[in-house]
Amino acid sequence: MIDFENPSFLKLRPVNDSKLERLIQPLLTPGEQVVQAFQSVRDGVVFTDRRVIAINVQGVTGMKKSFTSLPYRRVQAYAIESAGMGDLDGELQLWYSGLGAVKFELLAGSDLALLCRVIENAISG
């Protein structure tokens, strides 16, 4: 579960393996597509074309996992911070109605421009 007192995901590196996608596959709705997946040391964040799914790995063995779904339709605003829209580290901040801000610190290799297009398409209609 996301700690909404400190809702930050730091040092997320993009991953192309299907491990995170296999974890969230049962949660996806018909037609929902994964856009980008990110991994920290243990936790993960998956951006789909409809929402953000945060995966919190718990316990010593990592067998217990919690999943938090943050639909884009609840986003009121978003912001990115980067030295450019290229292959650099950046931050994405989403403001959710009723929840406040959630911040993602994304390492090189993430496609901030793509994420912004997906979010904009979802919130504008």
What is the CATH number for 28? 2.30.29.50
In total, how many domains does the chain have?
1
> Residue 2: inside a domain, yes or no?
no
Measured over the CA atoms of residue 5, residue 108, residue 44 and residue 57, the dihedral's sign is negative
pTM above 0.75, yes or no: yes
> Residue 13: inside a domain, yes or no?
yes
Structural domain that includes position 111: 8-124
Tens of pLDDT along 79-102?
A: 998 876 555 688 999 999 888 889
Q: Residue 77: helix, strand or coil by DSSP?
A: strand
Q: Model confidence at 2, in pLDDT bands (50, 70, 90)?
A: low
> Residue 90: inside a domain, yes or no?
yes
Tens of pLDDT along 11-58?
A: 888 998 778 889 999 999 999 999 999 998 888 899 999 999 999 888
